[in-house]
Structure 1
Amino acid sequence: MDARSERNAVPLAVDLDGTLIATDLLWESLFLLLRRNPLCLFLLPLWLWHGKARLKCEIAARIELDVATLPYRAALLERLRRDRAAGRRLVLATAAPRRLAEKVAEHLGLFDLVVCTDPHRNMAACAKRQALTELFGDGGFDYAGNGRADLPLFDAARRAIVVAPDRWAARWQAAHGAELIEARRVTMRTLARMLRVHQWLKNMLIFVPAVLAHQYLNPGVLRDSLLAFIAFSAAASAIYILNDLFDLPLDRRHATKRHRPFASGLVPIPAGLLAMAVLLAIGAAAAFFLPLVFTGVLALYLVVTTAYSMAVKRMLLLDVLTLAGLYTLRILAGCAATGIEVSFWLLAFSIFFFLSLALVKRYVELRSTELPAGERIAGRGYRAEDQEIIAQAGMASAFSSALVLALYIQSGASVGLYERPWLIWPLGPIVLYIAMRIWILARRDEMHDDPIVFIIRDWRSQLFAGFGAVLLLAAGL
């Protein structure tokens, strides 16, 4: 008997979570459930009281999981298809509940048998080892797994295949020389994408009150503004992680978002939750050194962004108004951190300008998604026929922001604050140029799905924004 025939003579049992797929179905199911009904959070302790198996089955019974979009391990999947074609018996051996395990097995069409969790038995670690040993005998099967819970299975199997191992499985693999299927490594770029570091640029709005009040050379004001920036950036990244976890099914159906760290399975969900806790702690630590009113603004930001992630983002028009409000809230945070008085003109300009950018974001989503008439875009409250009204509202908001700026320049407030107020008149055309160019490119389908990211990368927008900043500084000297 050759080596291949000998290998195929015994069944291969394959773990699901972390092995066949680069994610964990319990965490996936939990976020699906909470997105569908947040009140189920209060039922989780009751289900867990009856055991982890009961918890898994109760959650699975209340959700609909699209198993076709799960992040399968391509190398292992190809290996399984070859073994199946050679006549090898394959077994899906998983701690996932039957409802989900059988859906995966049916989708792939590779497995002869499914060994999984039922309401009375959590099929993990030693329980899974016992079940497989009863079926095939000690050493009567090969096993593919990835983590600490799989170590008893590795010891009981004839041969082990270690897939994308955690540190315990990696040590076992190194000690026993078992077959290894590695996964992509998490890099600094991956972490930056998880935190969405580029989105921190939005928090530069915190410095706007200090700049417009000509306090940008005041060390105390700069220190407080910097602390506020750190607090908001940490809080924003934490909420982005939460948003990504709730949006996993939608992101996996999206052409580009499916490559995000959580949607692709590159970063495990528990690691994201740990990162959230650390980020919130950093935000709280920075806020501790600032006035209490800033802490209130930060808390309001967290509440509103969480509500946006859970529900508001799916509500027609309320979503874009909320986004515009969150931009303006950053300006209020800068005022709260430094004690600088809030300017009506600044807040009015902010609401109109950022409402225009929020509408661009929705417009691009509609343009890039093929929808039948009358059907809403996934996870949003908009339909294809809404494109024109969104574009009209977005352009009107952009022109309104320029009008507010022009009225401010002509008002007594600017005359008393700037030595040369005539120097800031070009700010109106600059704002119109940036906003109108964004909308023109959006209608040409040449716009990134996030206009903030576009502005970061677009040298023309940067050039005009920089010129406007120079004029603003020169007018106050």
Structure 2
Amino acid sequence: MADKTPLVLDVDGTFLRTDMLVESFWAGMGKHPIATIAASLRHLGDRPRLKAELARIGQPRTDLMPVHAEIAELAQIARNEGREVVFASASDRELVERLAVDHGLEGKVFGSENGTNLKGTAKAEALVAAYGEGGFDYAGNEPVDRAIWERADTAIVVGDESSAKAMAAAGKPVQSFDGTWRWRDLARALRPHQWVKNILLLLPMLAAHDFTWATLGMVVLGMICFSAAASSIYVANDLLDLEADRLHATKRFRPFASGAVPLLVGMGAGAAAGLVALLGSALLGPQMLFITALYMLLSLAYSLRLKRLRWVDIAILAALYTLRVVAGATVTGLGVSAFLIGFIFPAFAALGAVKRLTEVTRARNDERLPGRGYARADRSKLLNLALIGVMGAVLSFLAYGFSPQAIALYPSRLFLWAAAVPMMLWLIRMVRLGYEGRQDYDPILFAMRDKRGIGLLLMCLAAMFFASGMWESVF
């Protein structure tokens, strides 16, 4: 005779590779940050009310939340056998009901409501009342679920090895599934490959031709602080962009969007990285601390709101790159000329436009990009903005050749002006490839792999090297 025992599935961390309360919080932060923070503080001691309020404010899309494939398969097998399959979660009941509809499990649902946090013993009592003692199989993932497994027929354990061993030792039939996360996925979420952008802190040192070990050491310390700051913001950005990333062709594989790393783990790692950035910057001086804090605040504002504003987002991206240069000048005590700022800002405004240009060119339809303010119709405007940025950067570079600093540092200024040619060709190449959709979604990382582009940049650096007269001094 076929087994008709109902299969009861916990949701957070069991059926889903995420937590709906945390999902609701970050969805709310992306849409209504002030209301979300206020609700979190107001109902911190009332979990059912907190879950209901955050679900109402954030309205997270349950249909996009990552599913534990093995548990979903288990549920499908049970349904094919004619068994009842239901969700029983401590999450807000309305969210659980929406998730059930998304996955074709309409019917009985258990969730937190009316002041009851359906967790542990409370959930066990509700399930026993519905199905009787030992009248159901239960899938969960936390030690708190032991109170339910003890009263179930079969304990289905996801990731919690200690509980699986304890249930087996007590004579309970146990099925175990892997639900652990991996450190390499967390490292991927911190995006160490993006730290290469902090090479911009070297520019003031290079522009001043100050190649002492002491100066280099201070720059390296500044780069470490900015790398930690960037990682903390990347984590926050990914948590705020969960829905948009899950709708994206490639970003849906990111650690938080895919459920490879728990959101709470990411929050802890992001907070730790931010603390390292601020404490390290404080040791380098109050000015460096101010610049790092400004960078983090501006980046957070960008993630929360500004990246959704057309044209404003590109200006903010350029400003964030410019702040890296200012940080390099601050940490070394070297000045940063107006010509350098005049070159960096429009150059990175052009690359910011290229980033958006690539996204709209590779978009699947004519609608606005998820979480962004652009659509395919904006391609020509983005192209014009990118070309204006290229023009501004080149003109500033040429104007620098007439400055007192350039006269003092570059005896052969003809080579300095000649360096503008490969630099301009490189920028135009980046714009063209973005317009044709032949880049990936980060022009800086693309540039690090683009052999022809690297060749043009090396030609630019070689011309500047000759212009400085260092060739004679070295050789």
Please report the TM-score for the alignment, with normalisation by the length of structure 2: 0.93
Q: Equivalent of 1:28, from 23, 48, 55?
A: 23
Given the alignment of the two structures, is residue 427 of structure 1 paired with residue 419 of structure 2, yes or no?
yes
Distance 1:171 1:22 in 2: 22
Distance 1:105 1:243 in 2: 29
Given the alignment of the two structures, is residue 293 of structure 1 paired with residue 287 of structure 2, yes or no?
yes
Moved more, 292-301 or 56-65: 56-65
Paired residue for 2:337?
343
Paired residue for 1:384?
376
Is contact 1:81-1:110 (8 Å) kept? Answer: no
Q: Equivalent of 1:231, from 205, 225, 230?
A: 225
Is contact 1:61-1:99 (8 Å) kept? Answer: no
Instruction: Describe the SS at the equivalent of 1:48.
Output: coil
Identity %: 35
Cα gap change, 1:279/1:167 in structure 2, threshold over 3 Å: closer, same or farther?
farther
Is contact 2:48-2:112 (8 Å) kept? Answer: yes
Paired residue for 1:200?
195
Matching residue's letter, 1:429: V
Cα offset, 1:424, TM superposition: 2.7
Given the alignment of the two structures, is residue 303 of structure 1 paired with residue 297 of structure 2, yes or no?
yes
Cα offset, 1:394, TM superposition: 0.4
Q: Equivalent of 1:88, from 43, 63, 83?
A: 83
Q: Equivalent of 2:258, from 250, 261, 264?
A: 264
Paired residue for 2:8?
13
Q: Equivalent of 2:39, from 22, 43, 59?
A: 43
Paired residue for 2:452?
460
Paired residue for 1:356?
350
Paired residue for 2:175?
179
Q: For residues 349-383 of structure 1, give each alpha carbon's deviation from its aligned partner in whole angstroms, at most 9, with x where no partner exists.
A: 001100000001111111122344xx532212223
Alignment gaps of 5+ in structure 1: none
Matching residue's letter, 1:428: A
Cα offset, 1:166, TM superposition: 4.1
Matching residue's letter, 2:249: A
Spell out the pairing of 1:26-425 with structure 2 (5 A cutoff).
26-40=21-35, 41-49=37-45, 51-110=46-105, 112-163=107-158, 165-166=159-160, 168-169=162-163, 171-172=165-166, 178-183=174-179, 185-188=181-184, 190-216=185-211, 218-372=212-366, 375-425=367-417
Is contact 2:62-2:98 (8 Å) kept? Answer: yes
Is contact 2:164-2:174 (8 Å) kept? Answer: no
Q: For residues 255-280 of structure 1, give each alpha carbon's deviation from its aligned partner in whole angstroms, at most 9, with x where no partner exists.
A: 11110000001111111111012112
Matching residue's letter, 1:378: P
Paired residue for 1:437?
429
Paired residue for 1:447?
439
Cα offset, 1:193, TM superposition: 2.2
Q: For residues 52-79 of structure 1, give each alpha carbon's deviation from its aligned partner in whole angstroms, at most 9, with x where no partner exists.
A: 1111112222332222111011221122
Instruction: Describe the SS at the equivalent of 2:134.
Output: coil
Cα offset, 1:184, TM superposition: 7.0
Moved more, 315-324 or 171-180: 171-180
Cα gap change, 1:461/1:145 in structure 2, threshold over 3 Å: closer, same or farther?
same
Distance 1:38 1:225 in 2: 35
Is contact 2:186-2:266 (8 Å) kept? Answer: no
Please report the TM-score for the alignment, with normalisation by the length of structure 1: 0.93
Distance 1:411 1:376 in 2: 44
Matching residue's letter, 1:270: L
Distance 2:186 2:25 in 1: 23
Is contact 1:33-1:62 (8 Å) kept? Answer: yes
Instruction: Describe the SS at the equivalent of 1:143.
Output: strand
Cα offset, 1:465, TM superposition: 2.2
Instruction: Describe the SS at the equivalent of 2:109.
Output: strand
Distance 1:387 1:443 in 2: 8
Structure 1 segments, 4+ long, off by >6 Å, are none
Q: For residues 110-169 of structure 1, give each alpha carbon's deviation from its aligned partner in whole angstroms, at most 9, with x where no partner exists.
A: 354111110310001111111111222221111111122222222221111122x14644
Q: For residues 255-312 of structure 1, give each alpha carbon's deviation from its aligned partner in whole angstroms, at most 9, with x where no partner exists.
A: 1111000000111111111101211221123213212111111111111111100000
Distance 1:33 1:98 in 2: 18
Distance 2:106 2:178 in 1: 23
Matching residue's letter, 1:192: A
Cα offset, 1:18, TM superposition: 0.6
Moved more, 58-67 or 300-309: 58-67
Q: For residues 180-231 of structure 1, give each alpha carbon's deviation from its aligned partner in whole angstroms, at most 9, with x where no partner exists.
A: 222475252x233201111111111011101111112x22211211111011
